Chain A
């Protein structure tokens, strides 16, 4: 008997297979219900955390003051950067020979971008000795304007993904302050835990912390380069209720990876660290898109009347009355910062827990649970608020599909 025979045995076992009676609508309903329960749990936990931190608010004026930005001198990076010199010593010189490695990855891939190979070699050198990347690193698409690497890591019992993005440093450092300025999102106030931020002894802005239960983030910005390291246990074998970041990276280890990637990236000029097109912002083009949206709404729900339109430097928004109710569509330019935007994957929206400009385009209005936001290419982010409708018409898919096609044609 060979393998195929064993497969035949399995097939025989399945011969009394019943017809499938479950409906997709039931699957959707279960998924929505689970998602709602998780949200409610998060809100409860966050509320309790904020209540417990009530007295702490006095000690953390950034949460309540009108001017929350403390003086730079008040925020000293608590971690040592001395260990980075060890990391730097193994970072290959730009243009120099790549370190030999039997493992597959961008550094051994002749087709990979040279900078990508340098960054990967640096990151690999900074990984803890007992951690093994189970997949070759590869360029991450859609993660801001820069170079991205992504791999899955196994360390003991923990299985987690690691993204490392190297970008040009932002014009203004110290803007991203998740430890003291939590982002408000539709899910909750994203108060980071195990969070530290500050200026290190090389005048770089540094951040390390846990953005929720399953995501860790480390940031290093200064000179020409900015690095964001994101590690997540979301795709892990443990039950979702038991997932956390235990056994992944300590803050020091995450900092070392950010440090290594930063040192690799900082050997390049800022211009060399920009990949892809700039965010761009052509109000006229966006207005043209809106005319298309009006037609889409009309096709979906009959006659449409534009109730209001708002075109500003930062965003374009319009509210339409349809026979199914009112729909508001808002568009704004994607940020080039990996951590800043709400939506950071293409043609869908993965909510970034540290988003700092999510509601900038929505005039700081309260987040609506009925809003759906998507990223359209690297250029545009769109929020579609259908809370004023009767819920019987799907406006989101036709709009995003049309905009996605437009973006793809550009």
Chain B
């Protein structure tokens, strides 16, 4: 029995690959690693396609698969990232929101890389994917309280690295 509904799978991949890739990049900070993560996610999605279809929550399953593939990857010694205490300024404008400045982007990425994987995942899901605390808790299989505390710690870490001006008002309720 070789066939899943490959046409439907193909449609889903075509529609969602870019969104998955962006989330993966925010998680990994590297486009090649992001592509690897997306490939792994889509491969697992193919294998489980029929069961996932039944649950009618393709995005949720894809997110969850990517999330845990990402966290798994950070546990491997050759992919482990090392936290930094100070983000190198690099002589840029100092405004991380200035997307035209590659040095600012580098500074942001470096700061994100310094945030522990679980906290970074929470930040990306909460503030990029716009998921609720409860939705993130469901994806991570943890309590809402854990999501809030991880989010707060992640934001604290970014404040420490980038300065309080940019992040002073972000609070996780």
Best-buried of B105, B124, B139 by chain A (most CB within 10 Å): B105
- Chain A residues 1 to 53 lying within 8 A of chain B, measured CB to CB, are 1-3, 5-18, 20, 22, 24, 27-28, 30-32, 34-35, 38
Q: Specify the main secondary structure of chain B where it touches its partner.
A: helix
Given the complex, which residues of A lie within 8 Å of B153, measured CB to CB?
none
Given the complex, which residues of B lie within 8 Å of A351, measured CB to CB?
1
Flag if B170 contacts A1 (CB, 8 Å). yes
Question: Is A173 part of the binding interface, using a Cβ–Cβ cutoff of 8 Å?
Answer: no
Flag if B54 contacts A31 (CB, 8 Å). no
Best-buried of B47, B61, B105, B170 by chain A (most CB within 10 Å): B47
Q: How far is the CA of A396 from the CA of B64 in the complex (A)?
A: 30
Question: Is A366 part of the binding interface, using a Cβ–Cβ cutoff of 8 Å?
Answer: no
Flag if A345 contacts B128 (CB, 8 Å). no
Which chain A residue lies CB-closest to B165?
A1
Flag if A31 contacts B42 (CB, 8 Å). yes
Q: Specify which of A7, A13, A24, A397 is in contact with B105 (CB 8 Å cutoff).
A: A13
Which chain A residue lies CB-closest to B139?
A237
Best-buried of A152, A161, A234 by chain B (most CB within 10 Å): A234
**Number of chain A residues close to chain B: CB under 8 A:** 56
Q: Specify the main secondary structure of chain A where it touches its partner.
A: mixed
Best-buried of B7, B14, B109, B141 by chain A (most CB within 10 Å): B141
Q: Chain B nearest CB: distance from A353 CB in Å? A: 12
Q: Specify which of A31, A235, A236, A239 is in contact with B55 (CB 8 Å cutoff).
A: A235
**Number of chain B residues close to chain A: CB under 8 A:** 67
Q: How far is the CA of A38 from the CA of B47 in the complex (A)?
A: 9
Flag if A237 contacts B9 (CB, 8 Å). no
Best-buried of A14, A349, A372 by chain B (most CB within 10 Å): A14
Q: Chain A, 144-158, contact with B by CB distance < 8 Å: what is the 0/1 string?
A: 000000001010010
Given the complex, which residues of B lie within 8 Å of A27, measured CB to CB?
9-10, 13, 39, 42-43, 46
Flag if A31 contacts B2 (CB, 8 Å). no
Question: Is B83 part of the binding interface, using a Cβ–Cβ cutoff of 8 Å?
Answer: no
Question: Is B152 part of the binding interface, using a Cβ–Cβ cutoff of 8 Å?
Answer: no
Question: Is B104 part of the binding interface, using a Cβ–Cβ cutoff of 8 Å?
Answer: yes
Flag if A12 contacts B1 (CB, 8 Å). no
Given the complex, which residues of A lie within 8 Å of B45, measured CB to CB?
31
Flag if B1 contacts A371 (CB, 8 Å). yes
Given the complex, which residues of B lie within 8 Å of A278, measured CB to CB?
none
Q: Chain B, 49-63, contact with A by CB distance < 8 Å: what is the 0/1 string?
A: 111111100000100
Question: Is B77 part of the binding interface, using a Cβ–Cβ cutoff of 8 Å?
Answer: no
Q: Chain B, 3-40, contact with A by CB distance < 8 Å: what is the 0/1 string?
A: 11111011001100110011001100001000100110
Question: Is A407 part of the binding interface, using a Cβ–Cβ cutoff of 8 Å?
Answer: no
Flag if B50 contacts A237 (CB, 8 Å). no
Which chain B residue lies CB-closest to A345?
B54
Q: Specify which of A1, A16, A238 is in contact with B167 (CB 8 Å cutoff).
A: A1
Best-buried of B67, B123, B170 by chain A (most CB within 10 Å): B170
Best-buried of A17, A152, A232 by chain B (most CB within 10 Å): A17
Q: Chain A nearest CB: distance from B60 CB in Å? A: 8
Query: Taking A12-B104, A237-B64 as contacts, is the C-beta distance between A1 and B99 under 8 angstroms?
Result: no
Query: Taking A1-B170, A24-B10, A30-B42 as contacts, is the C-beta distance between A161 and B127 under 8 angstroms?
Result: no
Apart from the given pairs A16-B105, A38-B47, A345-B54, 11 other A-B contacts in the complex at a CB distance below 8 Å: A1-B166, A3-B127, A27-B42, A28-B9, A30-B46, A32-B46, A134-B138, A187-B1, A232-B51, A235-B51, A350-B50
Give me 23 A-to-B residue pairs in the complex whose CB atoms sit less than 8 angstroms apart, sorted by A's number.
A1-B169, A6-B167, A9-B96, A14-B26, A17-B25, A18-B31, A20-B17, A20-B21, A27-B10, A28-B46, A31-B4, A31-B45, A31-B49, A32-B46, A34-B46, A38-B47, A159-B141, A235-B61, A237-B67, A237-B140, A239-B72, A369-B2, A396-B3
Residues of B within 8 A of A (CB): 1-7, 9-10, 13-14, 17-18, 21-22, 25-26, 31, 35, 38-39, 42-55, 61, 64, 67-69, 72, 96-100, 102, 104-105, 108-109, 112, 123-124, 127-128, 130, 138-141, 165-170
